[in-house]
Amino acid sequence: MRAQTLPSAAGWQWVMGGFAIFRRNPIMLGMLVVAYWFTVLFLNIVPYIGVLVASLAIPGLSVGLMQAARNLERGQPIGLQTLYGSLKENGRTLVILGGLYLGCTLGVLAMSTLVDGGDLLRFMLASNRAERAMVEDADFLLSALFVMLLMTPVLMAWWFAPVLASWHRLSVGRSLFFSFMACWMNWRPFLTYGLGLIIVAGILPGVLLGILLLIMPGAANLVTAIVTIPMVLVVAPTIFASFYASYRDIFGISEIV
């Protein structure tokens, strides 16, 4: 397993590469992203164990979207079987990765109690609006920065781990290690990539929303829908496809072994 070190500009190329992949079949890729979200939302509403089941399934579903992006790049067809079929590829390892990620996330949130006395954790775990209203006025800035700091190495370890486990048959430990090292070696392009996502998914939609609200101040719901629908059907599939672009450029395109 060898990861390449890329220049800073590669991060923006991942964003553009994701859009190029999306353009090959925008309807099907958009439908798969929507199916991914609905699957996760459906699993989350299962009483008691929904969050756990969803967390265990997310690594396999994310590999399915990566497989869809790879198929599109190769001119191969995609469908629901592409999204759900990847759950079977080294499924045990993918499930363990999902469980560990959930555990690490909860651990980081628990550690945030050292900063804010547990306000952020109570807000995140609140099951209804009344419970959230009790802590929504709290100042989460410091605790949010603390969580972001601790979650950064976690995200680095899990960024490529599912696809490395599925496509390269790596163990849990090796997939996490190689993912972390690949992100560490390429922190510059990942920084550019993050800035690119902020521009594409945050600043540009925000500017467009503001302009439309100025033009049509009495149609807030319509304006919000005009901005939200392209976000769901264009920006989100582009971002998912860009995940594959980052893997492709750092690790190269390898056949499933």
Model confidence pLDDT, tens digit, residues 158-205? 999 999 999 999 999 999 999 999 999 999 999 999 999 999 888 888
Q: Structure tokens of 125? A: 């775990």
Percent of the chain with pLDDT over 70: 91
Q: Band of the pLDDT at 218, cuts 50, 70, 90?
A: confident
Split at pLDDT 50, 70, 90, the class of 57 is very high
Q: For residue 139, with 0-12 CB atoms within 10 Å meaning exposed, 13-18 middle and 19 or more buried, which class applies?
A: exposed
Check residues 125 and 249 and name the one with the higher pLDDT. Answer: 249
Section 94-118 average pLDDT: 89
* pLDDT at residue 120 greater than cutoff 90: no
Q: Report the candidate in 10, 16, 32, 37 with the shortest Cα–Cα distance to residue 200.
A: 16
Tell me the C-alpha distance between 30 and 241, whole Å.
11
Highest mean pLDDT among 115-129, 174-188, 219-233: 174-188
pLDDT, residue 222, reads 79
The amino acid at residue 44 is N
In this model, does residue 139 exceed pLDDT 90? Answer: no
DSSP alpha helix (H) spans, 45-118: 50-73, 80-85, 91-111, 113-116
pLDDT at 226 over 50: yes
> Residue 224: pLDDT band by 50, 70, 90 thresholds?
confident
What is the H or E stretch that residue 242 is in? helix 236-251
pTM of the predicted model as reported, rounded to 2 decimal places: 0.87
Mean pLDDT computed over every residue of the chain: 88
pLDDT confidence of 113, banded at 50, 70, 90? confident
CA 44 to centroid of chain Cα atoms: 17
Tens digits of per-residue pLDDT, 242-251? 999 999 999 9
Domain ranges in the chain are: 10-251
Q: Residue 141: what pLDDT?
A: 75
pLDDT top residue among 209 and 61: 61
Would you state the structure tokens that stand for residue 89, as one six-digit string?
């590829």
Distance of CA 191 to the CA centre of its chain: 16
